[in-house]
Amino acid sequence: MSKVLTISDRFHAGGAAVVARKIYEHIEQSDSFEGVFLYGLDRLGFPNKSYPDTITTASYFFGPHINLLACRLIGKNIIPSKKKKLNELIRWADVVHIHNIHTYGFEYKQLFSILNSINKKVIITAHDDWFYTGRCAIRQECEEWKKGCPKCPNLDYYHSTVFDNAKMEFIKKTTLINSLKDCTLVAPTNHIANALSFVYPNVPNKVISNGINIESFIPPKNESKSKEVQVLIISNNFEDQIKLDHKFIDSLVKEEVALHLVGPNSMYEGPSVVNYGFVKNQTNLGQIMQECDVLLFFSKVDSFGLVLAEALCTGMHICAYDSRAAKEVLNGFNRNIIPEDPAFFISKLRNPEFIKLCKSLSIRKKQALKARERFDQNTMIKKYCELYLSA
């Protein structure tokens, strides 16, 4: 039985944590694996005592809070994990699978130094840009990482900081990862895999697409009864100023476009607006998608965007701003890369041919079938398990 230690900043929050948790939950139910999930922080930054013993943390009580402040000031975490516990868990494992570790829960230099001193199989899944940049998890269009981040021109990028230590962090991070004796880098998309190959040419890397529970996201059984195109917008927080275009949404509300908004803190109201708030249950989210025709995706900074895969598996048409993630994840499906112009989008919604396309049940079912084959989480999990067991 192979023992797998999963390391991720979060257990519940964020897309990377969702992927890490799905793989871990499969391991827990498998006869071939034994698993432990090591998380950095939970809600409000404290340990969660309700988790079972196999879901644990090695963080000091106020460690994540101090790291948050340090990250905002000098661009790096400074409080390490409890060394004894971290050592014990790494020594226990046959495979160490690292996901996101940049959100205040871990001090990466400590983690990679221990891994370098203990010969273990290491898998690193790069869910965003952090592993190949000096400090940015979301680099947007910046290309300075190709030069080793000599001087960061975007200190406001996530995670924002006051002082620039990107060059030194780039050197330390890449040196430690290059020193790992048995390491494989994994990316959910080709654009991240290509960047990893550029920075780590001697470290094996492969693409394993993120997967979702396709049983929760299925196409509708019947044709849509509404004559208007039903537009869906999903956000982790409608106060987000980075991943949402609020002026665009304001225009849609003013023009009384049929809007369905999923996520907390929505400030939008009107006769054509339906607010669902935060929807935790995936099946309920899938049912909302069945009732809508188009997913409007504003984010230009997501590396993958699980919501895109979820919407595609229900057969929805996607309209998205131009981004690396949108162009790659949506490739081969019914979608439009749209300009940042609400008037263009509104005119599109009123175009008879577009309405017919979005409302077609046969087209929707065909798209859903293709997406379900590509984004089935069982395929993702199978590929990771094969990687765990490979020599």
pLDDT, average across residues 294-303: 87
pLDDT, average across residues 44-52: 71
pLDDT, average across residues 235-243: 87
Q: Give the pLDDT band (50/70/90) at residue 391.
A: low
Long-range contacts of residues 380-383, Cβ cutoff 8 Å, at least 24 apart: 380/19, 380/22, 380/23, 380/208, 380/209, 380/210, 380/211, 381/22, 381/23, 381/26, 381/211, 383/208
pLDDT one-digit tens code per residue, 121-179: 999 999 989 999 998 888 888 898 899 999 988 887 877 888 888 898 899 999 999 99
- Is residue 12 pLDDT above 80, yes or no? no
Q: How far apart are CA 206 and CA 204, in angstroms?
A: 7
Q: What is the pLDDT of residue 72?
A: 82
What's the residue count for the chain?
Answer: 391
Q: How far apart are CA 184 and CA 8, in angstroms?
A: 17
Helix (H, G, I), strand (E, B) or coil at 135: coil
Average pLDDT, rounded, for the chain = 87
Residue with the larger pLDDT of the pair 357 and 43: 357
End-to-end CA distance of the chain: 14
Angstrom distances, CA of residue 216 to CA of 38, 177, 198, 376, 377: 27, 37, 37, 11, 11
DSSP string of 197-244? Answer: HHH-TTS-EEE----B-GGG----SS----SSPPEEEE-S-TT-SSS-
Contact criterion met (CB below 8 Å) for 288 and 278: no
- Is residue 323 pLDDT above 90, yes or no? no
Contact criterion met (CB below 8 Å) for 138 and 160: no
Tokens of 46: 């404290």
Strand partners, 235: none
- Is residue 264 pLDDT above 80, yes or no? yes
Q: Give the pLDDT band (50/70/90) at residue 312.
A: very high
Based on its alpha-carbon atoms, the radius of gyration of the chain, rounded to whole angstroms, reads 22
Angstrom distances, CA of residue 45 to CA of 70, 125, 137, 235, 334: 15, 23, 19, 22, 40
Tokens of 179: 């020193």
pLDDT, average across residues 205-229: 88
Q: What is the pLDDT of residue 124?
A: 96
Q: Could you tell me the strand order of the sheet in which 317-320 lies?
A: 273-277, 259-262, 231-234, 294-297, 317-320, 335-337
Q: Give the pLDDT band (50/70/90) at residue 1.
A: confident
pLDDT, average across residues 227-251: 91
Q: Give CA angle at 267 (323, 216), nearest 5°.
A: 60
Domains parsed from the chain with CATH numbers: 2-211+377-389 (3.40.50.2000), 214-375 (3.40.50.2000)
pLDDT one-digit tens code per residue, 73-96: 877 777 777 888 888 899 999 999
Positive or negative CA dihedral for 34, 42, 326, 230?
positive
Provide, rounded to the nearest whole percent, the portion of the chain with pLDDT above 90.
42
Q: Give the pLDDT band (50/70/90) at residue 310.
A: very high
- Is residue 113 pLDDT above 60, yes or no? yes
pTM value is: 0.84
β-pair type (205-207, 183-187): parallel
- Is residue 288 pLDDT above 90, yes or no? yes
Residue type, 180: L
Q: How far apart are CA 38 and CA 7, in angstroms?
A: 5
pLDDT, average across residues 226-240: 90
- Within 10 Å of residue 128's Cβ, how many Cβ atoms? 24
DSSP code for 255: T
- Is residue 334 pLDDT above 70, yes or no? no
Contact criterion met (CB below 8 Å) for 355 and 229: yes
